[in-house]
Structure 1
Amino acid sequence: MWLQGEKCDHKCYNDENMCQRAEWCDKTRVGEFTATILAGLFLATIMIILAPGAIALKLMDWIYSKMH
């Protein structure tokens, strides 16, 4: 496993920039994991909200095509 200290000299942040692999830093690891989980839940929620609408739209299109 890649360790933060090998490439970033045990510094997550300095005055000029942030370590490229901040997700492995002790200071940011929990926040990065939490943000990833929340983003996944957000996307799953959006898909659950949009799926019935897409199904209903296809159903209505099918019904309309049968009527005409």
Structure 2
Amino acid sequence: MTFTDPTMPSTQSLFQKMVDMFGTAGTIGVAIIGGAVALGILVILARWGWILLKGWLSRSK
């Protein structure tokens, strides 16, 4: 049985590959996707906070 050395992954990051391939449109795409993910996280945290606040307010009466 012969073993071969593993091949190392490319040193370029996924973001850099996308920018090289798509240019400015790739950068804008990454910014839009990042903004959408951030907005989704904020919405989830806001809903969770609202549920906690409603619980605290209902217990205080």
Q: Same fold (TM over 0.5)?
A: yes
Could you tell me how far apart the structure 1 residues matched to 2:54 and 2:41 are?
A: 21
Corresponding letter in the other structure for 1:41? I
1:32 aligns with 2:24: yes
The structure with higher relative contact order (CA 8 Å, sep 6+) is: 1
Which of 35, 46, 49 is equivalent to 1:54? 46
* Count of equivalent residues: 39
Show CA shifts across 1:35-63 (max 9, x none): 11110000001111221111010111011
Q: Aligned-residue CA RMSD in angstroms?
A: 1.0
> Equivalent residue for 2:59?
67
Runs of 4 or more off by more than 2 Å in structure 1? Answer: none
In structure 2, list runs of 5 or more residues that go unmatched: 1-21
Using the size of structure 1 for normalisation, the TM-score is: 0.52
Using the size of structure 2 for normalisation, the TM-score is: 0.57
Partner of 2:53, secondary structure, is helix
Which one has the bigger helix percentage? 2
